[in-house]
Amino acid sequence: MLRSLRTFLWTGLAARRLGSCRGRFTANGPCRFTRTTHLGENIHFNGLEIQGGGTVTIGDNFHSGPGCLIITSFHNYDSGRSIPYDDTYIHKDVTIEDNVWLGSRVIILGGVTIGEGAIIQAGAVVVKNIPSLSIAGGNPANVFKMRDAEHYHRCKSAKAFH
């Protein structure tokens, strides 16, 4: 009962800041979105924060572990008026395609696309694009394995989504 109440509370609070959502989403932990966050269907958050002015698009059937962070804005350190940086920002978008799973405490930096069906290992820092059906981890995140494509497509065709 208490868990259901917390989920209801976290989901309601997260929805107030959200840009758009095509379907149902659930927040089982504290989440913070921006007005430029756009969600697909069947989304499950266990704690995720989005910071910055870039657009974040998350596809269908997404799952995240607790403590995940997406950062879409950076200080202007190369062409600013002062050093180490000035008061302007550079905004970069993030795209997370369908059926992606982020482990606990994953950090994703702006300008990144995570391909369909990818899995990002807990604690990874994603600084470059991750191909579809990849399993990546580390700092910076690197692909170390590929998912079984036949199994993935069989589950997808059967609409066997968690």
Please give the CATH number for the structural domain made up of 2-157: 2.160.10.10
* Helix and strand element counts for the chain (H, E): 2, 19
Which residues of the chain fall below pLDDT 50? none
Structure tokens at 147: 């998912």
Question: What pLDDT, on the 0 to 100 scale, is given for residue 63?
Answer: 96
pLDDT of residue 131: 98
Q: pLDDT tens, 85-105?
A: 888 899 999 999 999 999 999
Give the pLDDT confidence score for residue 111 in this predicted structure: 97
Mean pLDDT of the chain: 93
Taking the chain, what is the end-to-end CA distance rounded to the nearest angstrom? 22
* CA distance readout (Å), 103 to 115, 137, 140, 146: 15, 10, 15, 16
Three-state DSSP class for residue 15: helix
Residues with active-site annotation = 75
